[in-house]
Amino acid sequence: MRYFLLLFLLQASLTAAGQSCTLALGGIVKDADGKVLPGATIWIASLEKGIVASPDGLFEINALCPGKYEVEVKFVGYETKRLSITLPAPTVVIVLHPAIEVLHGVTVEGQHLRQHSLSQSATILTAGDLAVNQGKPLGEILQTIPGVSAMMTGPAVYKPVIHGLHGQRILLLNNGVRQDGQQWGNEHAPEIDTYIASEIEVVKGAETVRYGADALGGVVIVNPPPLSYQRGLRGELNTGFVSNNRMGVFSGTLQGGFAQPEKGSWRLQGTVKKGGDYHAAKYNLSNTGAEEIDFSAAIGFKKDEQGVEFFVSSFNTTIGILRSAHTGSLADLQRSVEQKSPAYVDDFTYRIDNPRQQINHHLIKVSAFRHTPIGKLTFLYGGQFNQRKEFDVRRGGRSNKPSLSLDLFSHAVDVSLDHTLGKLSGSAGLNFTVKDNTNVPGTGITPLIPDYDQTSAGLFILEKLRTGKWLFEGGVRVDHQHLKVMTFNQARELLKPAYDFHFFAGMLGISYYFNSQARLISNIGMSTRPPHVSELYSQGLHHGSASIEQGLLGDGDDWNITSPVRMEHAWKWVNTLQLTNEKVALEASLHVNHIDNFVYLQAAGTRLTIRGYFPFFKFNQTDALLAGSDVSFRWTMSKRLTYAGKFSWLYANDLVQHDRLPFMPPPTLDNTITLAWPAVGKLKDVYFALGLPVAFKQNRAPLTVYPEDIPDYDGHKNFDYMPAPPGYALVSAEMGTVFPAGKHSMTVSIKGENLLNTSYRNYMNRLRYFADDIGRNISIRIKYDLLKNDKPEKNQTP
């Protein structure tokens, strides 16, 4: 069963070379559910020697002398375990238990990640972090990570933003498959059911070598739990109730293993969600309801040297967009900016009217692996079908006709080979993707983005070298992309321009352990990204922002299909220092991203239409600098009391025009104090937490030009319709516990957000011109574990 060569991370410089020092300490690290914990660190302090468990949880420390050793086993999200082991000894099974303090403050350690480079700055949201936020949109949950924010379109649409970048510059990896939706739209949120995930990782550096151009700004990795090949049936039921929008969520998972015909495992999962209008502190946010029905199924088979898994999932949602945010003209927008509350406020309802979005996303995935003499060969196919329909308020009985209707088929094939050669280990592979985007006829509106076919292929190699306290990483990638666009000119003639892009990405990184408590990681990535079809060829009127947009290839009223297309070139450098000891855990990172030919929407005058004047925005390219810092800090004051703080800050500048960039996140500071008891009577893991999230004012917001002044504005500077809203601090509280319910266990948590019912507007919310953000919100979450094979836990089997 040992497919993987063990990964030596730390090596003592002084190892006694005695004759008898040939013993090994080997074993496996698991959690209480039997899930292996790859990446757990096993550390012998007296020898300053340690190792990281391999992807199958195994470890082995060699060249040890006989004797008694104090061994420390650590893993993010789990309580550190100290064992005393006398060698020689047979292999040990080490079982770690979740650490409650860690679950409620994000702890950052990139060490156990296996889907990205080890020198990257990354944050993991564990099952515990996810549990207290379940039912919320993915983008809202991710905001708990320093450096990650969300561009919102009202209270139900969150688009993840990493260090100021979003959309086509952020890759979402859903169960190993790159999510292919209509990411170009600012009001298009990722189509992912968060109940699927047992863990979400966010990589804040450029991972373009492994994943291609879309990962220029970072990667969000949504990981379901691995299929458990243990026999027996088990499951989990989740329910949640949210007061603000009177939402109910139900989600269930059932899984089992079987032994015939091969070693097999299956899992079924489903989620149903229904919420009505959200409520700001002082008024109802009419037409902000949402509903969602999702399901997924997985089945896997494993033999000694190979395995295969099949996965299907379906995500279906309808989301209402604030009725008052549908504007027809600049005069409408001006009124919204002046008024304190939205023009249309009605009583609470579960009904979802126009404007609304209806999205269906289906995924089929096949993955297989085989161990070869060279290493592990992995094959992955992902097929996706994304259907997006947007309904507007329309005349003449057209409201049931979508204003935008897009079908996107995509196929991705990834083949990779992980290999190890002495101190050198790495991965090489190829990615192949095909996308087919079609505007479904019958909208009666010129599409915002044209039909297109896109084919791309990439080849990469990533290598790691471990030597002593150092780890060096490097990688290169070459890509080819073929894009065929089908659009129309003013004379309604079909144009079929085609583009070929060849591009390159490279990465270098280091990781250095000063000692077992301090580590420095640094990663520099060079990325190239061809503009997306939406940046080249978008056209039309956006109702939410009352603006007319035109793509990079727009020329007057028409297209210039032959004008040269410049690719974005980015250099992103992220440096992170991690310090941990018994009392304090600190992670501080500094990042700089310099992007040449940065694609953005530039103000380009106004147009007088039958609805009055509209600002006209044209996609343009400039050189941009984005730099900032993320800090997270955890202080264990006593056995019971923990403080967790998170701070992030970003500076963004247009280097050509010396101008500010729109929609860049303001600084934020998050404070949480947690009081925890391992057991109170029959209750386990009792905790109470008080939070004070603070958002500062964006002092580098672009120039303010009120809608009524737009017709007289002839500059090209970036502008916003309203000054940045003032900063705000909200008060939140949370409590939870686990209690036995018969043979099973039940986890209950209650969370209150914006407890003082503060009226505020979030700078990153695109609907802040129209309404406040949401008011007080109390939510209750209950998780019921149906574990039939509860065996007494064995900590150690010497």
Question: Cα separation of 331 and 521, whole Å?
Answer: 52
* 316 binding other proteins? (CB under 8 A): no
Choose between 17 and 610: whose C-beta lies nearer to other proteins.
610
* 554 binding other proteins? (CB under 8 A): no
Least CB distance from residue 613 to other proteins, whole Å? 9
Q: How far is the first Cα of the chain from the last one, in angstroms, to the nearest whole number?
A: 20
From 43-51, 210-218, 483-491, 788-796, give the range in contact with other proteins by CB under 8 A: 483-491
**Of these, 270, 612, 662, 678, which contacts other proteins (CB under 8 A)?**
612
From 18-26, 164-172, 277-285, 325-333, give the range in contact with other proteins by CB under 8 A: 325-333
> Which residue has 């947007």 as its token pair?
390
8-state DSSP, 166? -
Least CB distance from residue 99 to other proteins, whole Å? 39
Q: Are 238 and 178 in contact (CB under 8 A)?
A: no
Residue 542's identity, in one-letter code, is H
* 775 binding other proteins? (CB under 8 A): no
* 413 binding other proteins? (CB under 8 A): yes
* 609 binding other proteins? (CB under 8 A): yes
Choose between 55 and 605: whose C-beta lies nearer to other proteins.
605
Choose between 356 and 572: whose C-beta lies nearer to other proteins.
356
| Among the listed residues 716, 781, 702, the one whose alpha carbon sits nearest the alpha carbon of residue 749 | 781
**Of these, 89, 254, 393, 584, which contacts other proteins (CB under 8 A)?**
393
Residues near 588 by Cβ (< 8 Å), separated by ≥ 6?
576, 577, 629, 630, 631
3-state SS of 445-467 is CCCCCCEEEEEEEEEEEEEEEEE
- Residue 166, phi then psi, degrees to nearest 5: -150, -175
* 657 binding other proteins? (CB under 8 A): no
Which string of x and - marks every residue 346-365 that binds other proteins (by CB under 8 A)?
-------x--------x-x-
8-state DSSP, 175? T
| Among the listed residues 771, 770, 776, the one whose alpha carbon sits nearest the alpha carbon of residue 758 | 776
Q: Are 182 and 188 in contact (CB under 8 A)?
A: yes
- The CA-CA-CA angle for residues 502, 216, 208, to 5°, reads 60
Choose between 323 and 591: whose C-beta lies nearer to other proteins.
323
Strands 81-87 and 568-580: unpaired
**Of these, 500, 608, 658, 681, which contacts other proteins (CB under 8 A)?**
608
CA distances from residue 134 to 196, 335, 688 in whole angstroms, order as listed: 10, 37, 18
From 97-105, 181-189, 323-331, 779-787, give the range in contact with other proteins by CB under 8 A: 323-331
SS3 at position 795: coil
Choose between 409 and 499: whose C-beta lies nearer to other proteins.
409
Least CB distance from residue 176 to other proteins, whole Å? 15
Residue 384 structure tokens: 């996706």
* 87 binding other proteins? (CB under 8 A): no
* 525 binding other proteins? (CB under 8 A): no
Choose between 219 and 404: whose C-beta lies nearer to other proteins.
404
* 409 binding other proteins? (CB under 8 A): yes
| Among the listed residues 76, 83, 82, 84, the one whose alpha carbon sits nearest the alpha carbon of residue 105 | 76
**Of these, 12, 272, 297, 331, which contacts other proteins (CB under 8 A)?**
331
* 447 binding other proteins? (CB under 8 A): yes
**Of these, 15, 80, 438, 657, which contacts other proteins (CB under 8 A)?**
438
Which string of x and - marks every residue 744-763 that binds other proteins (by CB under 8 A)?
--------------------
* 610 binding other proteins? (CB under 8 A): yes
* 371 binding other proteins? (CB under 8 A): no
Choose between 368 and 518: whose C-beta lies nearer to other proteins.
368
**Of these, 436, 596, 708, 785, which contacts other proteins (CB under 8 A)?**
436
Long-range contacts of residues 238-242, Cβ cutoff 8 Å, at least 24 apart = 238/134, 238/195, 238/781, 238/782, 238/783, 238/784, 239/781, 239/782, 240/134, 240/135, 240/779, 240/780, 240/781, 240/782, 241/779, 241/780, 242/135, 242/275, 242/777, 242/778, 242/779
| Among the listed residues 363, 404, 408, 357, the one whose alpha carbon sits nearest the alpha carbon of residue 386 | 408
| Among the listed residues 222, 196, 221, 195, the one whose alpha carbon sits nearest the alpha carbon of residue 210 | 221
**Of these, 47, 93, 308, 625, which contacts other proteins (CB under 8 A)?**
308
**Of these, 24, 476, 486, 750, which contacts other proteins (CB under 8 A)?**
486
Residues near 48 by Cβ (< 8 Å), separated by ≥ 6?
10, 12, 515, 516
Least CB distance from residue 354 to other proteins, whole Å? 8
Give the count of beta carbons closer than 10 Å to the beta carbon of residue 759.
Answer: 15
From 50-58, 380-388, 569-577, 739-747, give the range in contact with other proteins by CB under 8 A: 380-388
From 56-64, 153-161, 242-250, 451-459, give the range in contact with other proteins by CB under 8 A: 451-459
Q: Are 465 and 537 in contact (CB under 8 A)?
A: no
Choose between 394 and 700: whose C-beta lies nearer to other proteins.
394
From 15-23, 47-55, 379-387, 470-478, give the range in contact with other proteins by CB under 8 A: 379-387
**Of these, 97, 246, 263, 398, which contacts other proteins (CB under 8 A)?**
398
Residues near 343 by Cβ (< 8 Å), separated by ≥ 6?
324, 335, 336
* 446 binding other proteins? (CB under 8 A): yes
Least CB distance from residue 381 to other proteins, whole Å? 5
Choose between 368 and 782: whose C-beta lies nearer to other proteins.
368
Least CB distance from residue 446 to other proteins, whole Å? 5
Residue 615 bridge partners (DSSP): 606
Least CB distance from residue 557 to other proteins, whole Å? 8
From 84-92, 324-332, 742-750, 768-776, give the range in contact with other proteins by CB under 8 A: 324-332
* 543 binding other proteins? (CB under 8 A): yes
Residue 218 structure tokens: 């970072």
From 95-103, 187-195, 290-298, 326-334, give the range in contact with other proteins by CB under 8 A: 326-334
Question: Cα separation of 505 and 776, whole Å?
Answer: 46
Residue 415's identity, in one-letter code, is V
Least CB distance from residue 396 to other proteins, whole Å? 5
Q: Are 628 and 163 in contact (CB under 8 A)?
A: yes
Strands 306-320 and 290-302: antiparallel
Assign residue 642 a region (left: φ > 0; alpha: ψ between -120 and 50; beta: otherwise): beta
Size of the site for other proteins (CB under 8 A): 62
Choose between 436 and 463: whose C-beta lies nearer to other proteins.
436
Least CB distance from residue 259 to other proteins, whole Å? 16
Least CB distance from residue 541 to other proteins, whole Å? 9
> Which residue has 């500076």 as its token pair?
651
* 600 binding other proteins? (CB under 8 A): no
Least CB distance from residue 555 to other proteins, whole Å? 15
CA distances from residue 361 to 244, 411, 436 in whole angstroms, order as listed: 27, 13, 15
State the residues that interact with other proteins by CB under 8 A: 301, 308, 310, 323-324, 326-329, 331-332, 335, 343-344, 353, 362, 364, 366, 368, 370, 379, 381, 383, 385, 387, 393-396, 398-399, 409, 411, 413, 432, 434, 436, 438-439, 441, 443-447, 450-451, 453, 455, 486, 488, 490, 492, 494, 543, 557, 607-612
